[in-house]
Amino acid sequence: MSEPQETQRRSIRIKKKYLVYAVLAAVVIAVVAYFIPSGMGLAFADTVAAGDNVSVFYTGSFTNGTVFGSNFNTTPFSFIAGSNQTIPGFSNAVIGMKVGQTKTVTLPPSEAYGEVNPSEIITVNKSVFVNSSSISVGEKVTGPGGQLGIVTAINNTHVTINFNPPLAGQTLVFKIKVARINK
């Protein structure tokens, strides 16, 4: 066999070798591309974007460390990231996070339940309650529009009710862990 023929055969073998590698790489890329959008196995590569349905675990506490709520070791909380389905700071805090990632955020009242609104604290005549003798401070009551309030003070003739959200005016700390992202 002449040298040019041998060089040509070697060139064909090398091309076949690279063709096999190229086909293998294409198969691997196709498999990865298939599984990422379907949420199977490799979905952790996704990050939360506004509009995604996200499921999270969280622990909420006050700045002094007192915990007021947690769902770790229970069912994740699901909501649409960047929406008004939950408080703004919480909803926006998950944007950019990945599945399995944990972050702690501190939210001022403006990003949580807002400041205490004095117009949401009302004093009514005790006679508006059917059984006014059984009303007690801390009791939850429902207003005429269906809003929930908490009795904060009682005297002989009047009852003061706070219709602000219970966590209004508070700076809140949340530890958040992303459990799932649905694009």
Q: Which residues sit opposite 60 in a β-bridge?
A: 69, 174
Lowest mean pLDDT among 75-89, 124-138, 147-161: 124-138
In CATH, 48-114+168-182 is 3.10.50.40: yes
Those residues with Cβ within 8 angstroms of residue 77's Cβ, 6 or more apart along the chain or in another chain: 55, 56, 57, 58, 71, 86
Question: For 108-145, how does the pLDDT look when each residue is reduced to its tens digit (9 = 90+)?
Answer: 999 999 999 999 999 999 998 888 788 999 999 998 88
Confidence of residue 17 (pLDDT cuts 50, 70, 90): low
- Please tell me the predicted confidence (pLDDT) of residue 13: 59
Tokens of 16: 């076949």
- Please tell me the predicted confidence (pLDDT) of residue 119: 96
Q: Inform me whether the pLDDT recorded for 9 exceeds 80.
A: no
- Please tell me the predicted confidence (pLDDT) of residue 131: 83
Assess contact for 90 and 178: CB atoms under 8 A. Answer: no
Lowest mean pLDDT among 99-108, 127-136, 160-169: 127-136
Which class is domain 118-162? mainly beta
Those residues with Cβ within 8 angstroms of residue 168's Cβ, 6 or more apart along the chain or in another chain: 109, 113, 114, 115, 116, 117
Percent share of the chain, pLDDT over 90: 68
- Please tell me the predicted confidence (pLDDT) of residue 137: 96
What is residue 99's DSSP assignment?
Answer: T
Cα separation, 174 vs 125, in Å, equals: 39
Q: Is 107 exposed, middle or buried (0-12, 13-18, 19+ CB in 10 A)?
A: buried
- Please tell me the predicted confidence (pLDDT) of residue 144: 86
Q: What residue type is 65 in one-letter code?
A: G
Q: Inform me whether the pLDDT recorded for 39 exceeds 60.
A: no
Tracing tokens 């459990």 back to the chain, one arrives at 179
Q: Is 181 helix (H, G, I), strand (E, B) or coil?
A: strand
Percent share of the chain, pLDDT over 70: 75
Tracing tokens 């955020």 back to the chain, one arrives at 105
User: Other CB atoms closer than 10 Å to residue 26's CB: what's the count?
Assistant: 10
Those residues with Cβ within 8 angstroms of residue 65's Cβ, 6 or more apart along the chain or in another chain: none
Q: For the chain, what is the radius of gyration of the CA atoms?
A: 30
Q: Inform me whether the pLDDT recorded for 40 exceeds 60.
A: no
Beta-strand pair 172-182/102-107? antiparallel
Query: What average pLDDT does the structure give for the chain?
Result: 85
Ordered by start, the domain boundaries in the chain are 1-45, 48-114+168-182, 118-162
pTM: 0.70
- Please tell me the predicted confidence (pLDDT) of residue 45: 52
